[in-house]
Amino acid sequence: MSAEEDGRAVRVVIEGRVQGVGFRAWVVRRATGLGLAGWVRNRSDGAVEAALAGPAAAVEAMLADCRKGPPAAEVSRLSSEATGWPVGNGFEQRPTA
């Protein structure tokens, strides 16, 4: 069974005080530690957006972590939706979109 068949992939938008507080670097560290594939980036509207893919339990753990964020963050809203599997197996920080 492939990772795509055995796992979960979501697109996440995190709102609040999430830029300028190390949120993206924190997501990269946490996601890598959980063995997730995907990416994270700042959005021009002040939110942080990420694609997370991997074992369902690891994705759920990352979503729970993102609801809190790193110590300096103040997450006011998190929305997620199922998405296609991101290309590649690593996790990267992307430029602002």
Sorted by where each starts, the structural domains of the chain and their CATH numbers stand as: 3-82 (3.30.70.100)
* Structure token digits, residue 70: 């790193």
Catalytic residue among 17, 30, 41, 42: 42
- The pTM for the full model equals 0.91
Summarised one tens digit per residue, pLDDT across range 3-47 is 455 799 999 999 999 999 999 999 999 999 999 999 999 999 999
Asked if 37 contacts 86 with a C-beta cutoff of 8 angstroms, the reply is yes
24: annotated active-site residue: yes
Residue 2 has pLDDT above 60, yes or no: no
Pick from 70, 73, 68: which is nearest to 29 by CA?
Answer: 70
Catalytic residue among 8, 11, 17, 24: 24
For 81, the 3-state DSSP assignment is: strand
